[in-house]
Amino acid sequence: MDGEWKWITSWKVWLIILMDWFLLAATGFLALLVRFDFSLTDIPGFYFHSWVCCCMLQMATAGILFPLRRMYHYIWHKVDIRDVVSMVASVFLNFAFSCCVCALFSLHLPASVWFLMLIFQVCALVGARLILRIWGVLSQSFHPARQEGPRIMLIGAGEAGRLLSKEIHSSGRVRGQLCCVIDDNPMLAGKYLDGVRIVGGRGCIPAAAEEFDIDQIIMAMPSAPQDERANILNICSLTGCRLRVLPGIYQLLNGEVSLSAVQDVQVEDLLGRTPIRLDTKAVSHSLAGKVVLVTGGGGSIGSELCRQIAKYHPKTLVILDIYENNAYDIQQELHRTYGAQLDLRVEIASIRDKDKMYRLFDRYRPQVVFHAAAHKHVPLMELCPEEAIKNNIFGTYHVVRAAEKYGVQKFVMISSDKAVNPTNLMGATKRFCEMILQSRVDSPTEFSSVRFGNVLGSNGSVVPLFQRQIQMGGPVTITDRRMIRYFMTIPEAAMLVLEAGAMAGQGQIFVLDMGEPVKILTLAENMIRLCGREPYTEIEIREIGLRPGEKLYEELLMQSETLSKTSNQKIFVEQQRSITPESILHALVMLDNTLSAPHTEQALIDLMRQLVPTYTPQQEQAHTPTTTSA
């Protein structure tokens, strides 16, 4: 009795089988009574005999067919329309088979009796299995939704919204009351979804939230474009309610539409830009079966690069980082995910150590290198220019030379939008690193750079700072109310780098179309609202002035006339003038001589101005504590 047939040992199942037999007999007898005006004496004896034989036959066939059709496997209080269709089909099959056998043995009954018998059997056998479901719906009608728990507004009356609404109403584990539904389809306004009124489109959100005293808003629009989702979420953020979203259309495809799939709104949901799409074939071709080295592999971008590279089955993935804690974290994560399927190596080393770089490249012979190791914090590098030059410039040069000597095929460096007309030393060092790569046009290794803006959630970025400040009750500190920035997510940044590596040509600089800029003030206000607090009243927003080396407005990278399109409409290539290796070597000698001799920070800055013509340091900057500014 193992497997699927364990059910047959249950007394409840045998009770249902006996019920089915009784209903089959009763419906046939009722059909005869109806046909002869409920007069037993008017029923001819041979019809009665035919009915008895037919009844016995239907009960026998039902005992075989119904278990095969899983008629005893339904959870009665959970049946849906698909279950009902399957039940009706089972009753029809049983009825059709009995009709054929009766005809074969000349067991005649009036046509009206056959017709009535079929109708009665469908109603009785299916109806009996629907009784608990019907009772639940009726109970809900007479005893409306529970009052405990949050009052919920649902955005989206499509398939995902319908399934979530059903779970809210029917699941005993869900606390809360669905009070209203929002949908932009004007044909749905005023109609009802599971007994809850669809009050209108997105313009009704603030008024409906106030009218129905809403505590929580759930957006069930997984297939909506990102810009549309962001627009709706920005409207929702004005209500002060907790915001939650169904993450993506894959949830529908996987059948995972439930409240367990709903998550709190993330800051990236408010970007209003459709995420870039990766050319997986090109990336797979460039990484599969290759030895791949990621410098700075424990950092925010580096670790995400490692996660995505691992999906493309590299021969070996080498993570290089100076900070052992980050390297350990990504090592353990990849071990848990891939186990022995991924040949993973971790090296703790500094890119400043020229000899160590050469030894590592000689040991692993990487074919693809993603260079993410760098000092990136603008204010700190303004205070420590010598360290920025040693790590970013000389460290990059050591890795570049090692890549050339040991036959690396592709080398992709992570650059920054701050390298465009830099106003700070960090940006100037990144621009110089780009120049190093541009000087290698005759190298057998293909060198390229990838520029992008601020990365949401990366170490030291504004988002984690705001989150900590909100958790502490404020104030949230912004440098200037007018400041704007271009943002992208960590996965987007890693995707861009991988695809750039796949399509890279010698000396190219890849630039991402990052869409519309975001006001830092608006970002702070929305983050406070996402936490269920009200800006200015519950959480103070304080303006503290620009940090050293910081721009009020980032350069709009996409305005450059030197940009050309790639196969990805979100990725462009900026063609730069060629730079000779001799000029780079001469510049490095000048930097090394200055660093080796007694020098001032101003002397380093003046030299960098000479070496990077587009570098214009900010003058008379306000120095503020770096730990509390945004």
Structure tokens at 267: 């800051």
Average pLDDT score over residue span 348-371: 96
Percent of the chain with pLDDT over 90: 24
Closest CA to 188 of 157, 218, 209: 157
Q: What amino acid occupies position 626?
A: T
Closest CA to 514 of 578, 420, 448: 420
User: What is residue 349's predicted lDDT score, i.e. its pLDDT?
Assistant: 95
Q: What is the mean pLDDT of the chain?
A: 78
User: What is residue 562's predicted lDDT score, i.e. its pLDDT?
Assistant: 64
**Helix (H) or strand (E) run with residue 561 in it:** none
The more confidently predicted of residues 379 and 335 is 335
The pLDDT confidence band at residue 327, using thresholds 50, 70 and 90, is very high
pLDDT greater than 60 at residue 473? yes
Closest CA to 630 of 540, 525, 546: 546
Interval 54-81: pLDDT, tens: 888 878 887 777 777 777 665 555 556 6
pLDDT greater than 50 at residue 4? no
Walk me through the domains of the chain, giving residue ranges and CATH numbers. Answer: 3-142 (no CATH), 151-265 (3.40.50.720), 281-456+486-512+557-611 (3.40.50.720)
The end-to-end CA distance of the chain, in Å, is: 67
User: How far, CA to CA in Å, does 424 sit from each of 39, 134, 451, 620?
Assistant: 102, 70, 16, 13
Taking the C-alpha atoms of residue 383 and residue 595, their distance in angstroms, rounded to an integer, is 15
Average pLDDT score over residue span 279-304: 88
pLDDT greater than 60 at residue 324? yes
Taking the C-alpha atoms of residue 615 and residue 593, their distance in angstroms, rounded to an integer, is 21
pLDDT greater than 60 at residue 367? yes
pLDDT greater than 90 at residue 245? no
Interval 84-133: pLDDT, tens: 777 778 888 888 888 887 777 777 778 888 888 888 878 877 777 777 66
Average pLDDT score over residue span 201-212: 89
pLDDT greater than 70 at residue 171? no
Looking at 4-13, 331-340, 513-522, which range is the least confident one?
4-13
Return the SS3 of 456: strand
The more confidently predicted of residues 14 and 376 is 376
3-state per-residue secondary structure call for 155-221: ECCCHHHHHHHHHHHHCCCCCCEEEEEECCCHHHCCCEECCEEEEECHHHHHHHHHHCCCCEEEECC
| Single pTM value for the model | 0.61
pLDDT greater than 50 at residue 2? no
User: What is residue 622's predicted lDDT score, i.e. its pLDDT?
Assistant: 41
Is there a contact between 554 and 485 (Cβ–Cβ < 8 Å)? yes
Average pLDDT score over residue span 420-427: 88
pLDDT greater than 90 at residue 548? no
User: What is residue 556's predicted lDDT score, i.e. its pLDDT?
Assistant: 47
User: What is residue 93's predicted lDDT score, i.e. its pLDDT?
Assistant: 85
Taking the C-alpha atoms of residue 333 and residue 396, their distance in angstroms, rounded to an integer, is 27
Q: What amino acid occupies position 382?
A: E
User: What is residue 74's predicted lDDT score, i.e. its pLDDT?
Assistant: 57
Interval 550-583: pLDDT, tens: 665 555 454 555 667 776 666 777 766 778 899 9
User: What is residue 75's predicted lDDT score, i.e. its pLDDT?
Assistant: 56
The pLDDT confidence band at residue 624, using thresholds 50, 70 and 90, is very low
Highest mean pLDDT pick, 48-52, 176-180, 429-433, 522-526: 429-433
User: What is residue 532's predicted lDDT score, i.e. its pLDDT?
Assistant: 66
User: What is residue 251's predicted lDDT score, i.e. its pLDDT?
Assistant: 45
User: What is residue 513's predicted lDDT score, i.e. its pLDDT?
Assistant: 67
Percent of the chain with pLDDT over 70: 77
| Residue located via tokens 């990059």 | 396
Is there a contact between 161 and 181 (Cβ–Cβ < 8 Å)? yes
Residues 6+ apart with CB under 8 A from 50: 102, 107, 108, 109
Average pLDDT score over residue span 38-56: 76
pLDDT greater than 90 at residue 410? yes
The more confidently predicted of residues 169 and 310 is 310
User: What is residue 461's predicted lDDT score, i.e. its pLDDT?
Assistant: 65
User: What is residue 253's predicted lDDT score, i.e. its pLDDT?
Assistant: 41
Closest CA to 156 of 106, 196, 213, 114: 196
Taking the C-alpha atoms of residue 49 and residue 66, their distance in angstroms, rounded to an integer, is 25
Average pLDDT score over residue span 157-176: 72
